[in-house]
Amino acid sequence: MNRESDRNLRAAETGGDDFLYRSIFRSMSEGCAIYRLEYTGRKATDYTVIEINPAYESIMGVTRERAIGSRASVLFPGEDHRCLEFFHRVAESRFPVNFITHFAAKDRYLRISAFLLDEEQVVCICSDITEQQKAEESLLAMKRKLEQSNEELSATVEELEATNEEFEAQNEELILAHQELAQSEAKFMSVFRVAPVGIGILKRRLFDLINNKIGEMTGYREEELRGHSALLLYPSKEEFDRVGRELYSQIAAHGSGTIETKWRCKDGSIIDVIVGASPIEPGDDTFVTFTILDVTKQKRYEADLKKGEAKFRLMIERAPYPMFITDETGNIDYFNDKFTEIFGYNAADIYLTDQWWQLAYPEPAYRAKVRKSWSSAVRKARAENREIDPQEWEVTCRDGSVKIVEFSMVPIGTISLIIMNDLTERKRTQQLLIQNEKMMTVGSLAAGMAHEINNPLGVIMQGAQAILQRLAVDFGHNQEVARKIGIDLELVRRYMEERDVVDYLNGMREAGARAASIVSNMLQFSRRSQTRKVAADIHSLIDYTLQLAASDYDLKKHYDFKNIRIVRRYQPDIPEVYCIITEIEQVILNILKNAAQSMSESTDGDEEPEIVITTRQEDSRIVIEIADNGKGMDEETMHRIFEPFFTTKEVGKGTGLGLSVSYFIICNNHNGTIDVASEPGKGARFTIGLPLEGIQS
């Protein structure tokens, strides 16, 4: 097209179809202008607009009127000189040039084709390629950016590749390390999980991590504790603060701390725990690992143990039996209060076992016997690891009294526990029971026998009486019968007297009477008193009995009661006692008779015979004491004095039933007690106890 325009323009210039060319020129879509180069010397320094078309006007923003004849430097001030240089080159070389320039005034990119019209004139065809150019430019910019990025990327890739190699090498190590780590973590986690202690981590006393055990202990789930203050588990704020203070000060001082405290579980129960704590980073107590040991059971066990120990100690201390404990060498290690109470010996008396032997068994032969029996029993017990068969010995107490004691021994390891049982009272009670039984037997026998015995006794006694009567000179039909058979009754009577037959017959009667009275007395043992008990003033009862004793025919015969000094020590205002008055009188009379007899036999002539009668109330019973200063009695007599038929009196003076009957009356009929205390030469003291509540019978 350029060639064609060139030709057209040439034709136009040569004056050919001028109009045609002019109309093409005017309707062209490209801008078209004719410039005349202005030279300074040989160099074109400016150009002047000769002609422009409408397209040019719109592209360049100038009007034809203003443009034609104007110099470019005036028309387009400030534009670069690239156009001028290109036009100059066209003029010099006579070859067309195409170039692109930036029209700054309108910020437009223009493609310019320029060719030489004649020596001084240049045709310039320009089209606006601003859009094109801008798109290109942005493409280019993008391309440059991309290229730059690409460069950077390549660099990075290189680096990366290098790093990757290193990394892969490291990675292998890491994989190994990681496997180990995973293993050890698994191990740790399993320990953490199944540890029998609570383990956890606190962050500034807030739970960060806890194991199952803590859940088990407290009843809280992990999520209920995590993030919460440990205060949740303390029974009080004070305790929480105390534990915090103590633990963190221990940690500060030693790097770790331990403290015992109490936790409150979810259900409200309190457990005893030992808390151990240590910071994860030494010196920084932000994160603290802690362990919890539940010692509730141990605590309780300890407390129980302590309580149990105290209980058992108390049991031995307060035991109603004397006990002592010997160590492995046989020395007395301990004895209880009851031991001292019963035997009187204290720690100062028997700190060595041998002292016990000496004191308890002062008689050497007896001691040797006890020791021998004891050591063989202990040996046997130790060998078989069981308690000994109980042994009974007479132990001398500190006050000199003798007690019947049963010994048991239990070996406990190397030590021995010796338990004693004071049988003295029991033995005595047993004796009394036996005695009572004996009397009951006699009583029931007597009841059965009485009738059978009394009939033959009647025959004997009445027979004897009848014989005596038949021998009497002045009785009934005696003389009449004697005369009828031709004998002198007087002589028969004298013969009988000479030959003591009368005495024999009287003796038979008396013996019969005595036998009858024994039977009668024996019957008392079987006879439940049918008489009702009445309330009686014990003092007037005693006084009346003293009167009876003073006028007693038997007493008068042997020992005059009036010579005995009677001392009454009555407790004033003593309550009345329900009793069978005649029976109690009988008992007192019996004792008085015995006392009188004993005093008459006393060899101590200087002492005035004296009976002291004392009365007093002891709790729910009345006690009557009758003490004489007679000859007293030995232990054997004392033990047997209430036995039926036991008597120290010479034959004929007593039946041996008086005190048995007394015993029966007091113990059986009145539910009371009767007792005697005496020593040879020191008189005797009978003590009668009558219950005050004997109203029911």
Partner 1 sequence: MSGEGLRILVLDDDRMICTLLRGFLEESGFLVRTATGSEEALELLDVERFDAAIVDIRLPGMPGDAFVLQARRVQPAMVFIIHTGSINYQVTPELAEIGIGQEDVIYKPVLDMDDIVRAILRRIKP
Q: Which residues here bind partner 1, judged by CB under 8 A?
A: 447, 450-455, 457-463, 465-466, 469, 475-477, 509, 512-513, 516, 519-520, 523, 527, 530
Nearer to partner 1, 11 or 508 (CB): 508
Q: How far is the CB of 532 from partner 1 (least distance, A)?
A: 14
Q: How far is the CB of 442 from partner 1 (least distance, A)?
A: 15
DSSP output for 336-395: -HHHHHHH---TTT-SSHHHHHHHH--SHHHHHHHHHHHHHHHHHHHHHTSPPPPEEEEE
Nearer to partner 1, 237 or 477 (CB): 477
Length of the chain measured in residues: 697
What are the structure tokens assigned to 207, written together?
């739970």
Nearer to partner 1, 475 or 645 (CB): 475
219: region left, alpha or beta (phi > 0 left; psi from -120 to 50 alpha): left
Nearer to partner 1, 277 or 522 (CB): 522
Count of alpha carbons within 13 Å of 540, Cβ hemisphere only?
8
Please tell me the distance from the alpha carbon of residue 575 to that of residue 589, in angstroms, as a whole number: 22
Which residues have C-beta within 8 Å of that of residue 136, sequence separation ≥ 6? none
- Radius of gyration for the chain, computed over Cα atoms and rounded to the nearest angstrom: 74
Q: How far is the CB of 513 from partner 1 (least distance, A)?
A: 5
Quick one: how far is CA 320 from the chain centroid? 28
C-alpha distances (whole Å) from 616 to each of 122, 176, 580 are 174, 106, 19
Nearer to partner 1, 117 or 519 (CB): 519
Cα torsion at 329, 335, 340, 341 (round to 10°)? -140
Burial 272-284 (b: 16+ CB within 10 A, else e): bbebbbbbeeeee
Q: How far is the CB of 469 from partner 1 (least distance, A)?
A: 7
Nearer to partner 1, 68 or 523 (CB): 523
Judge contact between 334 and 324, C-beta under 8 A.
Answer: yes
Nearer to partner 1, 508 or 677 (CB): 508
Q: How far is the CB of 481 from partner 1 (least distance, A)?
A: 10
Q: How far is the CB of 477 from partner 1 (least distance, A)?
A: 6
Nearer to partner 1, 88 or 509 (CB): 509
Please tell me the distance from the alpha carbon of residue 315 to that of residue 124, in angstroms, as a whole number: 138
Nearer to partner 1, 237 or 451 (CB): 451
DSSP output for 185-254: HHHHHHHHHH-SSEEEEEETTEEEEE-HHHHHHH---HHHHTTSBGGGGSS-HHHHHHHHHHHHHHHHHH
Q: How far is the CB of 546 from partner 1 (least distance, A)?
A: 29
Q: How far is the CB of 478 from partner 1 (least distance, A)?
A: 8
Nearer to partner 1, 91 or 446 (CB): 446
Burial 486-518 (b: 16+ CB within 10 A, else e): eeebeebbeebeeeebeeebeebbeebeebbeb
Nearer to partner 1, 264 or 527 (CB): 527
Phi, psi (deg, nearest 5) at residue 605 = -75, -25
Q: How far is the CB of 464 from partner 1 (least distance, A)?
A: 10
Nearer to partner 1, 454 or 617 (CB): 454
Please tell me the distance from the alpha carbon of residue 30 to that of residue 270, in angstroms, as a whole number: 103
Please tell me the distance from the alpha carbon of residue 189 to that of residue 132, in angstroms, as a whole number: 70
DSSP H stretches of helix in 41-81 = 54-60, 64-67, 72-75
Which residue do the tokens 């020791």 mark? 371
Nearer to partner 1, 139 or 472 (CB): 472
Encoded amino acid at 335, one letter: F
Angle among Cα 272, 276, 278 to the nearest 5 degrees reads: 160
Q: How far is the CB of 463 from partner 1 (least distance, A)?
A: 6
Q: How far is the CB of 515 from partner 1 (least distance, A)?
A: 8
Q: How far is the CB of 457 from partner 1 (least distance, A)?
A: 4
Annotate 457-477 with three-state secondary structure: HHHHHHHHHHHHHHHCCCCCC
C-alpha distances (whole Å) from 49 to each of 11, 120, 129, 333, 536 are 21, 12, 22, 146, 178
**Do β-strands 565-569 and 610-618 pair in parallel, antiparallel, or remain unpaired?**
parallel
Q: How far is the CB of 485 from partner 1 (least distance, A)?
A: 17
Please tell me the distance from the alpha carbon of residue 630 to that of residue 599, in angstroms, as a whole number: 4
Closest among 212, 254, 218 to 235, alpha carbons compared = 218
Nearer to partner 1, 402 or 481 (CB): 481
What are the structure tokens assigned to 317, written together?
């201390």
Q: How far is the CB of 667 from partner 1 (least distance, A)?
A: 20
Nearer to partner 1, 200 or 512 (CB): 512
Q: How far is the CB of 441 from partner 1 (least distance, A)?
A: 18
Nearer to partner 1, 125 or 471 (CB): 471
Closest among 614, 634, 607, 638 to 688, alpha carbons compared = 614
Which residues have C-beta within 8 Å of that of residue 299, sequence separation ≥ 6? 272
Q: How far is the CB of 528 from partner 1 (least distance, A)?
A: 10
Please tell me the distance from the alpha carbon of residue 319 to that of residue 358, in angstroms, as a whole number: 25
